Amino acid sequence: GRRERGQSCPCPEVRTRLPVLRWLPRYSLAWLQLDLIAGLTVGLTVVPQALAYAEVAGLPLQYGLYSSFMGCFVYCFLGTAKDVTLGPTAIMSLLVSSYTFHEPVYAILLAFLSGCIQLAMGLLHLGFLLDFISCPVIKGFTSAASVTISFNQIKNILGLQGIPRQFFLQVYETLRRIRETRAGDAILGLACLAALAGLQAMKSRLPRAACVEPLAARVSYLIVWTSATARNALVVLFAGLVAYSFQVMGSQPLTLTGSIPRGLPAFRLPRFSMAAPNGTIPFRSMVEDMGVGLAVVPLMGLLETVAIAKAFASQNNYRIDPNQELLAMGFANILGSFVSSYPITGSFGRTAVNAQSGVCTPAGGLVTGTLVLLSLAYLTSLFYYIPKAALAAVIISAVVPLFDAGIFRTLWRVKRLDLVPLCVTFLLCFWEVQYGIVAGVLVSGILLLYSIARPPIKVLEGDVLLLQPGSSLHFPAIECLRDAVCSHALAASPPRSIILDCRHISSIDYTVVVGLAELLQELRKHGLSLAFCSLQDPVLQVLLSADLEGFQHFPSWEEAERCGGADPGCGGAAPFTSTSESSLLPA
C-alpha cells in the first residue's frame, strides 16, 4: 500500500548502518576487475604475514590464518573505507602476546571481549573522541610506519633469520649480520622492487587511450594498464614460478613461505573457562589475568584502524565514519572469536597494498577472505613456493610512497607549532607505534588546551582602552583575561577604563562569569569601569542572568568609546542597562 503521510523512510538509517548499500547498487564490471586484482594481491600477502604474526603472538601458526578472513567479510558490509583491510598485525600480535600468556583460549576470549567494548563504543557514538587525532599526528604515524614497515622487510629481502621486531634492535642486528645475506633472496628481492617501481612509473605516465584510436592501440593500452595495476600479483606469481623452478632442479637458494596447516576452524562460542593442571580457571580469573589488556587492546586496535582509515581517506578524498568503524571492528572481533581468531585491527601494510592495487570498494575483502579460506582448506601447497623476498618487495613498494617528507617543510611554513606533535609521534613510533600515536594525541591536546587558556587579546589605545579577545572564553582563559585587563588599565597613565569588545566570543561558562564579576569589583576599587560591547545574544543572556553588579554594555565599541566607556553621565547612546531580562531569557 501507499506509505502514510508523515511516515519517514527507514532507508537512510539502513544505509548508514550498512555502508555496503551505498556502493553495491552502483557496482560495475570495471570495479569487479580491480577488486579481484586487489583482493588476490592482498590475499597472497596476508597468508605468510598471518603465519609470522601468529609466531609474534606466541600462538600456533594456524591461528594467524584463523584471524585473517572474518574481518575481511565483516568489513565488506560494515566498513566505510574502501582501502582498509582488517586482520592480524604486528602491533596487535605483540599486545596479544603480552596479555594472553601464549594461550589460545585467552587470545580468543580477548578478541570477544575487545569486540564487545568496541561495539558498545560505536552504539554510544563515542567515535567523536577520535576527532582529536590531528593531521600532524596522522602524518607522523604514517611516515614512521612507512619507515618501520619497510625496514622490517629488509630482513626478508636479505634472507636473514632471527632479527628482533623492535626497530632500533632491528637496525642494529641487520647491520651487524649484513654479511650473512643470502644472494638468492637479495637478487630476487631487488629485482621485484625494480619491477614494481618500473610498472608503477609506467602506469603513472601511461596516456589515456582515446576511443578514436586504432583497435591495436586500445588493446595495447589495456594490456599495459592491467599489467601495471596488477603488478603486485604478477610479481608474486613470477617469483613463485622462479622458486618452483629451482625446487624442480633440486636446489633452492630462496627463502620460501613454507607449508601451511590445512583445515577450517570450527564455528563455536569462545570458551569462558580453561582447564589447568590443578583445576579449571573460571571466567572471572581469566579477566583478572588479562587486566589492563582489556582496555589497551580494544583502544589501540581502534586507534590504529581509524588512523589508517583517516590517512587513506585523506589521500583518496573520501570521508569515514568513526562510529561505523567502531561497529565494524566490534562485529569483526566478536564474530572472529567464533572461528578462533585473536584480536584484529586495520593493517597498515596490507591496506597500502590494497590501495596500490587499485581497489574500488570493500568487496576486495571478500576475495581476500575467500583466498584465506581456500588456502586453509585446499591450496596450502600453492603458497608453499612464494618467496618471502617477493612479498617483502610488494610491501615496501606499497608503503614507501606514504612517507611524506614535504609535511615537515609545509608545517614549518604554515604553523611551526604543529611540528611538535608531528615530531613526537614520528620519533616515538620507532619505539612502539601505540606510544607514538598516544603521545601525539596528548601533545595535540595540550596545544589545543593552551590555545583555549591563552586566547589572543588585541589591545587598542585611546581615551579608553579597547581589549578584543580573539576567541570564546572558557574557564582556563579567565585568569589570562583578568591579567591583561588589570595590567593595561592600571599601568596606563593616568589609569583608564576598559571596553571589552566581545564580537568573537560565542560562548562563556560559569567560571568566566565569576571571574568577570571579580574583575568588575577589582576595577571599581580603583575608580575604573569595565564596559562590554558587541555581545552576541547567547553570551548576553548568560551575563544578564548572572545579574553582575555594574554590568553595562553597548551595541558597538564606537558608541562605548564616544560615551567614555561605562560613564553613566554619557549624553550619547546609553548602555542597554534598561533591557528587560525577561525578553532575553527563555520562558
**Mean pLDDT of residues grouped by 10 in the chain (587 residues)?**
44 72 89 89 81 78 90 92 88 82 92 94 82 83 83 89 84 92 93 91 74 75 76 84 91 83 87 86 90 83 80 71 86 96 89 82 92 84 83 82 87 92 91 80 90 88 82 88 84 79 89 90 86 89 87 78 54 36 30
Give the cell for residue 249. Answer: 632442479
For the chain, counts of helices (H) and of strands (E): 27, 9
Beta strands in 426-518 (DSSP E): 457-460, 465-469, 498-501
Distance CA 335, CA 327 (A): 12
Distance CA 537, CA 362 (A): 47
Distance CA 244, CA 240 (A): 6
Q: What's the full length of the chain, in residues?
A: 587
**Residues 6 or more apart in contact with residue 462 via CB below 8 angstroms:** 561
Contact in structure between 53 and 345 (CB atoms under 8 Å): no
pLDDT of residue 560: 67
Compute φ and ψ for 145, nearest 5 degrees.
-65, -35
Q: How far is the CA of 331 from the CAs of 23, 76, 335, 474, in angstroms?
A: 20, 12, 6, 39
Helix (H) or strand (E) holding 346: strand 345-346
Helices (H), 24-180: 29-56, 62-66, 70-78, 90-99, 104-123, 135-158, 167-176
Q: Could you tell me the end-to-end alpha-carbon distance of the chain, in angstroms, rounded to an integer? A: 44
Distance CA 135, CA 447 (A): 14
Give the cell for residue 163. Answer: 632479527
Helices (H), 278-405: 283-290, 293-316, 322-337, 348-356, 364-377, 380-383, 388-399
Task: Give the number of other Cβ atoms within 10 Å of residue 125's Cβ.
Answer: 11
Contact in structure between 326 and 75 (CB atoms under 8 Å): no
Distance CA 470, CA 98 (A): 48
Cell 591450496 appears where? 379
Nearest to 455 by CA among 415, 508, 492: 508
Distance CA 391, CA 400 (A): 14
pLDDT of residue 331: 95
Q: How far is the CA of 510 from the CAs of 453, 474, 515, in angstroms?
A: 15, 9, 9
Render the burial of 514-533: b for 16+ CB within 10 Å, e for the rest.
ebbbebbebbeeeebbbbbb
Give the cell for residue 99. Answer: 596479555
Distance CA 40, CA 140 (A): 30
Distance CA 454, CA 480 (A): 6
pLDDT of residue 15: 66
Please, what is the Cα angle at 353 between 347 and 356, to 5 degrees? 135
Q: Provide the angle, in degrees to the nearest 10, between the axes of the packed helices 29-56 and 231-248.
A: 60
Cell 579481484 appears where? 36
Nearest to 304 by CA among 137, 421, 538: 137
Rg (CA), the chain: 31
Helices (H), 378-465: 380-383, 388-399, 406-414, 419-428, 433-453
| Region label for 569, one of left (φ > 0), alpha (ψ between -120 and 50) or beta (otherwise) | alpha
Nearest to 309 by CA among 254, 260, 352, 259: 352
Contact in structure between 469 and 456 (CB atoms under 8 Å): yes
β-sheet bridge partners, residue 276: 279
Distance CA 252, CA 275 (A): 44
pLDDT of residue 212: 64
pLDDT of residue 587: 31
Q: What is the largest CA-CA distance in the chain?
A: 107
Distance CA 417, CA 500 (A): 29
Could you give the 3-state DSSP secondary structure of residue 533? strand
**Residues 6 or more apart in contact with residue 12 via CB below 8 angstroms:** none
- The DSSP 8-state label assigned to residue 530 in this structure reads E
